Amino acid sequence: MSGRYSNPAPPTAVKIVVSGGFGVGKTTFVGAISEIEPLATEASMTEASIGVDDTSSVDGKTTTTVALDFGRITLDESLLLYLFGTPGQDRFAFLWDDLVEGALGAVIMLDTRRVEECYPVLDYFEEHGTPILVAVNAFENTQRFDLEEVREALGVGQEVPIVECDARSRASVKQVLLALIEQVLVNRLERHMTPALY
C-alpha cells in the first residue's frame, strides 16, 4: 500500500545556455520554446553602440540583450529545462561565467553570414569544458550551406553536433534541445564505459 499512493518524483531540472554572437537569434530561440513568459533584458540600441555593434547583417535590429534571456520548458514529466541566453556583445562578456556555471550544455547559434563571430564563442565553451551543439539559424534570404561545409569553416570535429534550426519555430527549437541532451548523454555514457582488459 505504501507505494500505491506515493507522489511521483519531481522532474529533474537542468540548465541549458543559448549563446552566440550579436543578433544570431538567441532571444527569439528562447522565446519560441518557453512555456512561461520569457524574461528578456532587451534594451534599445543607442548612439553608444555606434561603431561597437555591427548591424550591417541584421537589418532592422533596434534592440539588444544587455544581461540575459530566461525561459523554461518541460520536455516531459521527468525533465525540466531552464534556458539562459547570453548577451552577444563582447562588452557584456563578464556576465557569461555566471550564466554558464552549472550548465548541462550549450546551444551555440550561428548566422552563416558572420561565421567568424562564432570562433570566440566556441573557444569559450571549449575552455570551460561545456558540451556544445551548433545550431545554424535559417535566416530568410540567406545562402544555405551544407552542414559539413559549416563544420569545416568552424574547424570542429564530429563530436560537435551541427544542426539546422529555425529559431522562430517551437518544433525546431525543441528538436535542437533534444539533440543537445542526447549528445550530452552519449558523451557521459562513453566517458563512464571503460574497456575490459584481457
pLDDT at 61: 45
pLDDT at 92: 57
> Residue 97 burial (CB < 10 Å; 0-12/13-18/19+)?
exposed
- Does any domain span residue 39? yes
Amino acid at position 18, single letter: V
Amino acid at position 59, single letter: D
pLDDT at 108: 97
Predicted TM-score (pTM) of the model is 0.78
pLDDT in tens, 49-81: 445 545 555 555 455 544 578 899 998 888 899
pLDDT at 64: 52
Query: Higher confidence at residue 146 or residue 22?
Result: 146
Structural domain total, the chain: 1
- Does any domain span residue 74? yes
Output the domain CATH number for residue 117: 3.40.50.300
The pLDDT-based confidence of 191 (bands split at 50, 70, 90) is confident
- Does any domain span residue 146? yes
pLDDT in tens, 128-148: 999 999 999 988 877 889 999
- Does any domain span residue 1? no
Q: Residue 51 sits in which domain range?
A: 12-192
- Does any domain span residue 97? yes
CA distance 85 to 33: 13
- Does any domain span residue 99? yes
- Does any domain span residue 3? no
Query: Higher confidence at residue 46 or residue 97?
Result: 97
**Nine cell digits for residue 110:** 550561428
The pLDDT of 175-184, averaged and rounded, is: 94
Helix (H) or strand (E) holding 74: strand 63-76
